[in-house]
Structure 1
Amino acid sequence: MSDSILEQIFIKRSQQKKKTSPLNYKERWFILTQEKIAYYDFDPDKGKRKGLRGHVDIEKIKCVEAVQPEPNCPQERIEPESTTFDTTSSNSVSQGVVYDEGPLYIFAKSEDIRDQWIKKLKELVRFNKDLMQKYHPCFWVDGVWLCCQQEVKQAMGCKVLDHKNGFASKASQRRCSRKPLPPTPKEPSRPLPPEPPEPAGPSVGMTVIAEYSYTPKTFQDLELRKDEEYTILDMSDDNWWRARDKLGNEGYIPSNYVVEAKNGLEKFNWYCKNMNRSQAEQLLKTENKDGGFLVRDSSKAGKYTVSLLTKSGGGSCRHYNICTTAQGQFYLAEKHNFETIPELINYHQHNAAGMVSRLKYIVSNQAQPPSTTGLGYGEWEIDPRSLTFIKELGTGQFGVVKYGKWQGQHDVAIKMIKEGSMSEDDFIEEAKIMMKLRHENLVQLYGVCTKQRPIYIVTEFLSNGCLLTYLREGLTQHPTPIQLLEMCKDVSEGMAYLESKQYIHRDLAARNCLVDGNGTVKVTDFGLSRYVLDDEYTSSVGSKFPVRWSPPEVLLYCKFSSKSDIWAYGVLMWEVYTLGRLPYERLNNTEIVDQVSRGLRLFRPQLANERVYSIMSSCWLDKADERPTFQELALTVQDLLYELQ
């Protein structure tokens, strides 16, 4: 790091992950250099700086201004006012510290210190590109800007800045379009709850082991070799960590390709990470060895299951949950307890001890590497000359979708945006944020081609295609209850991740989910409906509007929220359990708007038991705030799956 210009202890305000959770205030040691503003943990007793918690590159800063205090803010936070650093790109969540999609709020200890930092930062950013003309002088709280009540976090600011070499004039500092709203009666003024301790987790300086090999795709990337160790140098980007290999080479690696070097299960061939019951049965039956086994993650987080194939009695797969005693020991059969799971597996490789067979043959899935966030560190604008088009997959709302290769070797799906179908400039800005979203149940956006028309959206390719088609044609004639529930679990977990990022899908349905080669379902096209320029799509009268997946508040008032996504998820579950039937198939759109507003709900599918239907029904409550969250739905589905296993 270059020489520091300023150093100071500040209070950093984190954005809450959910509207119901409290804001987080933490003291951090901030260091300003010519290149970045970085913040660290520190030991108040020894007065020493500790691990790096994050940073913002100076070249990405678009605005530095004083911000008005929040309503109901604790007195010790009100004075002095805070400073906001508004960056051009989305930042990521790292161990409870959130930069979110723009503002980073910091509370200085005195007005003089605050003004000193603002002045110095303005000097550093005065030649930056895309300096803002307007900014938000008040906080983003519970999904709304307090100054102007806009509900889109990326919305243009409401207070004008007069830029003069990076400085705003005093006149502009006095202007503000609206005052903050007073607190609502539902949220009375109260002090912040005690700050919980930060969870333990990965940290700078730790040693990790590569679970997968990775070939560098940009000059900034570092090659990974499976099972080799690497040292983490910087974790400020949640998706791409800077690391050093044993030869001293440094570069960026995809963070989901490595695990912390400790006594985990990843190094054992019998452990199949992120595999569900249906996938395990398919793999074991393909190998078709008596006593073939693997260990997989259970549907309940933190639990594991042994899946075992036996040919006795006609042949079948058995699934044994690994249990724990009150003392923390592991067992499959009572009275045979072990300190570790590897010791347990080793014992049962030689002794059946109550199971239908001993564990005779290891079956490994040779897992494919997960998708990276982007095609390399900082790579979001893709050169169209690096794309090879192979075949057409179909035509969607925005245009033709094709299967192809990037650099002749990486499978990708290429969405060719039909001119006039999308607000392109707005989407391009949003794409930079969407690329930061990474979850195993979301289709990964790799990048965009924006230098020509039509523009391309390049995403992960999933070989089994659209979930709706898969339900109608790709499944066996008699899918098991577990198969169907696993599909719903996949979608709920992907949506719970979007919910945690305060992201609204607006068009969740089986047609907007894809299925990979292992049968895993992933949500796609999240948020794209905001950029549609088709009036017929945005009107509830027109045939393109997702009327059949919309709750009363959307049908009547076009009020979208995470709770309208919950309603749509209930309809998607119904699609899954009817194997792709059209919701309200005997009604037209006008009749649906009228009857759903009056209380009509979809019937219970024949394949859904009462417990599954109760989950669907909880998504269709009249009052939006009474519907569950996706986090709650994911846990409910997870528990039900665990019982079925």
Structure 2
Amino acid sequence: MSETILEDIFTKRSQQKKKTSPLNYKERWFVLSQEKVAYYDFDSDKGKRKGMKGSVDLEKIKCVEMVQSEPNTPPERLFAFQIVYDEGPLYVFAKSEDIRTQWIKKLKEMVRFNKDVMQKYHPCFWLDGVWLCCKQEVKQAMGCKVLDSKNGFSSNASRRRGSRKPLPPTPTEEKCVRPLPPQPPETPSPSVGMTVIAEYNFAPVTPQDLELRKDEEYTILEMSDQNWWKARDKYGKEGYIPCNYVVEAENGLERFDWYSKNMNRSQAENLLKTENKDGGFLVRDSSKAGKYTVSLFTKSGGETGGSCRHYNICTTAEGQFYLAERHFFSTIPELINYHQHNAAGMVSRLKYIVSNRALPPSTAGFGYGEWEIDPHNLTFIKELGSGQFGVVKYGKWQGQHDVAIKMIKEGSMSEDDFIEEAKIMMKLRHENLVQLYGVCTKQRPIYIVTEFLSNGCLLTYLREGLMQHPTAVQLLEMCKDISEGMAYLESQQYIHRDLAARNCLVDGNGSIKVTDFGLSRYVLDDEYTSSAGSKFPVRWSPPEVLLFCKFSSKSDIWAYGILMWEVYTLGRLPYERLNNTEIVDQVSRGLRLFRPQLANEKVYNIMTSCWMDKADERPTFQELALTVQDLLYELQ
């Protein structure tokens, strides 16, 4: 049994998991251990605790914060605090301010490395189907108050606890036991005091930044910001560095040029065929979480232009690694070194390393704390198109970084609200989200500066045949990219509200990234913000949005199903023969889109699981991503 860290008698409020649930308050014996917060029934006369009534695993906690008392609150419920996790807030009432402060401080300290921490929270109670602070009627709605200093948490995926509970069942499997995104066992995240190696050069942008020189070592000093860590170089100079530019010195595959993190099968084949070297190879993450694949290009076998072979790196029960034949190795680098000299069952030995590390990944802002961009540092090169907010142009920042610049036409956006939100949005960083670099707000029109993706809009990419004869794997990889980006947004309590192929972009490698998340909240166009308007995304909206304008992560799930349908029809318009009024009527009555010709039954089952009438019966994005991942593994 885990050692007890804190224990106290608290009053616990029922969680009202259904609107009809009765509200009650009961005294429980709360116990905090290294693994969880548990609460028990107890015998008040004998002072002994009895059976456990419930618990929350520490790794699932997203927020710990005080709760504002309601008017005329009885004395025994003055000192409330909330423990927020997947199922919502657990409200607890301490007997004094000192006890409440002690528990909040200790809990924050213990869960500071959790990856799913919130950036906004609700300072008041959820009561009878409504948030008392902001009057939103969706329990999963994003908070209305920004947390100071990330709630004292660090959202780096550095995990002290190895045990994980199974996820809820998905539509296509009984149990899910893997986290998302996968955390390969060989790449633990750095911690304070650890030595890291730079994978890319980084030139300082602000006086607080520290220059990174590829392959040099640095010591981590502070990790309070999820994207920018304070470090010291070998000369004693200190400053902030982008955390995704470094890897732990002693562990991880990232330090090897042959490892291509976050590369899928199609991208690996394109890269290897472009290099066109017999025996060219790379190692990438498998579609199976925590597994790896060697992709190898060969000119033997009679195929014109050569072909690619993919070999899963297998693991024995004792944890040793092997490929085609059973030559066992303790580490993957040892295995690769052996096969660079011996084919041993493969079509060829591994002759040439093929790497995709020429371009560094996007950073959350150009420099630490730098969200306001000087427009004089922007060069406009060409117009890319126009959208809801105005013209979008391709350009350069300081003559070197490719960027997309949205020039916001006046009157199209609630600018002050957006500018405040942009500071939060900049901290969102995921390989399947278009990175917000910053904003220019000192002049009009204001600019939004984002990552530039060379292959443009996904809808155009699908419709104009930029993919030549897409395979089942390529189509499903697109859906996987989007589901993982949305799963990250879901974990950050962000609702997109306008998820569709037109709001996804394609990079030069064919990866899909979601863009414009949350921007629809700042639209001032009545036709866009009302479901009666012609610009409202009716074709991507579920019944609860069409009828009651109730947005939630579950309405994004519905839109994801429609987006999958767009992918598998290569960009056809959903319900193309119906107008908006007919769609509202017929979807509310149960009409659903047909199965696309390119989608098999398993793929179509994923779509239809997103289109359940009741929002709470739809899967989460985390569950969807795992389901797509498993199906992709079957195809490969």
TM over 0.5: yes
Assess, with a 3 A threshold, how the Cα gap between structure 1 residues 137 and 298 changes in structure 2: closer, same or farther. closer
Q: How far did 1:81 drift?
A: 7.2
Aligned counterpart in structure 2 of residue 453 of structure 1, from 430, 435, 444: 444
Q: Look up the match of 1:125.
A: none
- Please tell me whether the aligned partners of residues 67 and 137 of structure 1 are also in contact (alpha carbons under 8 angstroms): no
Q: How far did 1:263 drift?
A: 3.3
Counterpart amino acid of residue 265 in structure 1: L
Does 2:378 correspond to 1:387? yes
Does 2:411 correspond to 1:420? yes
Does 2:498 correspond to 1:507? yes
- Please tell me whether the aligned partners of residues 116 and 491 of structure 2 are also in contact (alpha carbons under 8 angstroms): no
Q: Provide the C-alpha distance between the structure 1 equivalents of 2:600 and 2:341, rounded to a whole number of angstroms.
A: 40
Assess, with a 3 A threshold, how the Cα gap between structure 1 residues 24 and 495 changes in structure 2: closer, same or farther. farther
Q: How far did 1:300 drift?
A: 1.9
| Mapping for residues 106-125 of structure 1, pairs under 5 Å | none
- Please tell me whether the aligned partners of residues 276 and 299 of structure 1 are also in contact (alpha carbons under 8 angstroms): yes
Q: Look up the match of 1:242.
A: 230
| Mapping for residues 187-266 of structure 1, pairs under 5 Å | 201-266=189-254
Aligned counterpart in structure 2 of residue 313 of structure 1, from 302, 317, 323: 302
Q: Which moved more, 1:142-151 or 1:329-338?
A: 142-151
Q: How far did 1:463 drift?
A: 0.7
Assess, with a 3 A threshold, how the Cα gap between structure 1 residues 97 and 593 changes in structure 2: closer, same or farther. closer
Q: Look up the match of 2:633.
A: 642
Assess, with a 3 A threshold, how the Cα gap between structure 1 residues 389 and 141 changes in structure 2: closer, same or farther. farther
Q: Look up the match of 2:167.
A: none
Q: Provide the C-alpha distance between the structure 2 equivalents of 1:581 and 1:150, rounded to a whole number of angstroms.
A: 34
Q: Provide, for residues 240-259 of structure 1, a one-character-per-residue CA deviation record: whole Å limited to 9, x for no partner.
A: 11100000000000011111
- Please tell me whether the aligned partners of residues 321 and 331 of structure 2 are also in contact (alpha carbons under 8 angstroms): yes
Counterpart amino acid of residue 455 in structure 1: I
Assess, with a 3 A threshold, how the Cα gap between structure 1 residues 137 and 287 changes in structure 2: closer, same or farther. closer
Does 2:273 correspond to 1:273? no
Partner of 1:564: helix, strand, or coil? helix
Partner of 1:294: helix, strand, or coil? strand
Q: Look up the match of 2:119.
A: 101
Q: Provide the C-alpha distance between the structure 2 equivalents of 1:67 and 1:402, rounded to a whole number of angstroms.
A: 52
Q: How far did 1:335 drift?
A: 2.4
- Please tell me whether the aligned partners of residues 67 and 139 of structure 1 are also in contact (alpha carbons under 8 angstroms): no
Q: Provide the C-alpha distance between the structure 2 equivalents of 1:473 and 1:423, rounded to a whole number of angstroms.
A: 34
Assess, with a 3 A threshold, how the Cα gap between structure 1 residues 557 and 368 changes in structure 2: closer, same or farther. same
Q: Which moved more, 1:531-540 or 1:331-340?
A: 331-340
Does 2:549 correspond to 1:558? yes
Aligned counterpart in structure 2 of residue 285 of structure 1, from 273, 284, 292: 273
Assess, with a 3 A threshold, how the Cα gap between structure 1 residues 266 and 68 changes in structure 2: closer, same or farther. closer
Assess, with a 3 A threshold, how the Cα gap between structure 1 residues 322 and 97 changes in structure 2: closer, same or farther. closer
Q: Provide the C-alpha distance between the structure 2 equivalents of 1:640 and 1:522, rounded to a whole number of angstroms.
A: 20
Counterpart amino acid of residue 100 in structure 1: M
| Mapping for residues 305-384 of structure 1, pairs under 5 Å | 305-311=293-299, 312-314=301-303, 315-384=306-375
Q: How far did 1:407 drift?
A: 1.3
Partner of 1:529: helix, strand, or coil? helix
Q: Provide, for residues 401-431 of structure 1, a one-character-per-residue CA deviation record: whole Å limited to 9, x for no partner.
A: 0111111211111101111111111111111
Q: Which has the higher contact order (CA 8 A, sep 6+)?
A: 2
Unmatched 5+ residue regions in structure 1?
Answer: 1-8, 12-18, 28-62, 85-92, 104-135, 158-198
| Mapping for residues 130-209 of structure 1, pairs under 5 Å | 138=124, 145-146=131-132, 149-150=135-136, 155=144, 201-209=189-197
Q: Provide the C-alpha distance between the structure 2 equivalents of 1:352 and 1:153, rounded to a whole number of angstroms.
A: 53
Q: How far did 1:506 drift?
A: 0.2
Counterpart amino acid of residue 124 in structure 2: C
Q: Look up the match of 2:467.
A: 476
Q: Look up the match of 1:38.
A: none
Q: Provide the C-alpha distance between the structure 1 equivalents of 2:33 and 2:348, rounded to a whole number of angstroms.
A: 54
Q: Provide the C-alpha distance between the structure 2 equivalents of 1:75 and 1:68, rounded to a whole number of angstroms.
A: 4
Q: Provide the C-alpha distance between the structure 1 equivalents of 2:302 and 2:417, rounded to a whole number of angstroms.
A: 61
Q: Provide the C-alpha distance between the structure 1 equivalents of 2:380 and 2:112, rounded to a whole number of angstroms.
A: 37
Assess, with a 3 A threshold, how the Cα gap between structure 1 residues 77 and 339 changes in structure 2: closer, same or farther. farther
Q: How far did 1:269 drift?
A: 2.2
Q: How far did 1:301 drift?
A: 2.2
The TM-score normalised by the length of structure 1 is 0.74
Q: Provide, for residues 133-171 of structure 1, a one-character-per-residue CA deviation record: whole Å limited to 9, x for no partner.
A: xxx8635899974556446656479xxxxxxxxxxxxxx
Assess, with a 3 A threshold, how the Cα gap between structure 1 residues 101 and 365 changes in structure 2: closer, same or farther. closer
- Please tell me whether the aligned partners of residues 276 and 296 of structure 1 are also in contact (alpha carbons under 8 angstroms): yes
Q: Look up the match of 1:526.
A: 517
- Please tell me whether the aligned partners of residues 81 and 93 of structure 2 are also in contact (alpha carbons under 8 angstroms): no
Q: Look up the match of 1:437.
A: 428
Q: How far did 1:80 drift?
A: 4.9
- Please tell me whether the aligned partners of residues 503 and 516 of structure 2 are also in contact (alpha carbons under 8 angstroms): yes
Counterpart amino acid of residue 365 in structure 2: G
Q: How far did 1:76 drift?
A: 5.3
Q: Provide, for residues 270-311 of structure 1, a one-character-per-residue CA deviation record: whole Å limited to 9, x for no partner.
A: 212221111110111111122221111111221110111122
- Please tell me whether the aligned partners of residues 69 and 138 of structure 1 are also in contact (alpha carbons under 8 angstroms): no
Aligned counterpart in structure 1 of residue 284 of structure 2, from 272, 277, 296: 296
Q: Which moved more, 1:372-381 or 1:202-211?
A: 202-211
Q: Look up the match of 1:542.
A: 533
Q: How far did 1:510 drift?
A: 0.3
Q: Provide the C-alpha distance between the structure 1 equivalents of 2:316 and 2:471, rounded to a whole number of angstroms.
A: 31
Q: How far did 1:476 drift?
A: 3.0
Q: Provide the C-alpha distance between the structure 2 equivalents of 1:321 and 1:69, rounded to a whole number of angstroms.
A: 48
- Please tell me whether the aligned partners of residues 140 and 153 of structure 1 are also in contact (alpha carbons under 8 angstroms): no
Assess, with a 3 A threshold, how the Cα gap between structure 1 residues 266 and 535 changes in structure 2: closer, same or farther. same
Unmatched 5+ residue regions in structure 2?
Answer: 1-5, 9-15, 18-29, 35-67, 71-77, 83-88, 103-110, 147-184
Q: Provide the C-alpha distance between the structure 2 equivalents of 1:512 and 1:501, rounded to a whole number of angstroms.
A: 19
Q: Which moved more, 1:261-270 or 1:465-474?
A: 261-270
Q: Provide, for residues 306-332 of structure 1, a one-character-per-residue CA deviation record: whole Å limited to 9, x for no partner.
A: 111122221311111101010001111
Partner of 1:358: helix, strand, or coil? coil
Q: How far did 1:433 drift?
A: 0.8
Q: Look up the match of 2:601.
A: 610
Does 2:625 correspond to 1:630? no
Q: How far did 1:261 drift?
A: 1.6
Assess, with a 3 A threshold, how the Cα gap between structure 1 residues 457 and 95 changes in structure 2: closer, same or farther. same
Counterpart amino acid of residue 400 in structure 1: V
Q: Provide the C-alpha distance between the structure 1 equivalents of 2:459 and 2:337, rounded to a whole number of angstroms.
A: 43
Assess, with a 3 A threshold, how the Cα gap between structure 1 residues 386 and 201 changes in structure 2: closer, same or farther. closer
- Please tell me whether the aligned partners of residues 69 and 81 of structure 1 are also in contact (alpha carbons under 8 angstroms): no
Q: How far did 1:569 drift?
A: 0.3
- Please tell me whether the aligned partners of residues 414 and 524 of structure 2 are also in contact (alpha carbons under 8 angstroms): yes
- Please tell me whether the aligned partners of residues 432 and 512 of structure 2 are also in contact (alpha carbons under 8 angstroms): yes
- Please tell me whether the aligned partners of residues 95 and 201 of structure 1 are also in contact (alpha carbons under 8 angstroms): no
Paired-residue identity, %: 82
Q: Look up the match of 2:58.
A: none
Q: Provide the C-alpha distance between the structure 2 equivalents of 1:564 and 1:593, rounded to a whole number of angstroms.
A: 15
Partner of 1:313: helix, strand, or coil? coil
Q: Provide the C-alpha distance between the structure 2 equivalents of 1:80 and 1:300, rounded to a whole number of angstroms.
A: 47
Q: Provide, for residues 79-135 of structure 1, a one-character-per-residue CA deviation record: whole Å limited to 9, x for no partner.
A: 657569xxxxxxxx95118773357xxxxxxxxxxxxxxxxxxxxxxxxxxxxxxxx
- Please tell me whether the aligned partners of residues 80 and 92 of structure 2 are also in contact (alpha carbons under 8 angstroms): no
Q: How far did 1:641 drift?
A: 1.3
Q: Provide the C-alpha distance between the structure 1 equivalents of 2:443 and 2:100, rounded to a whole number of angstroms.
A: 42
Q: Provide the C-alpha distance between the structure 2 equivalents of 1:399 and 1:265, rounded to a whole number of angstroms.
A: 43
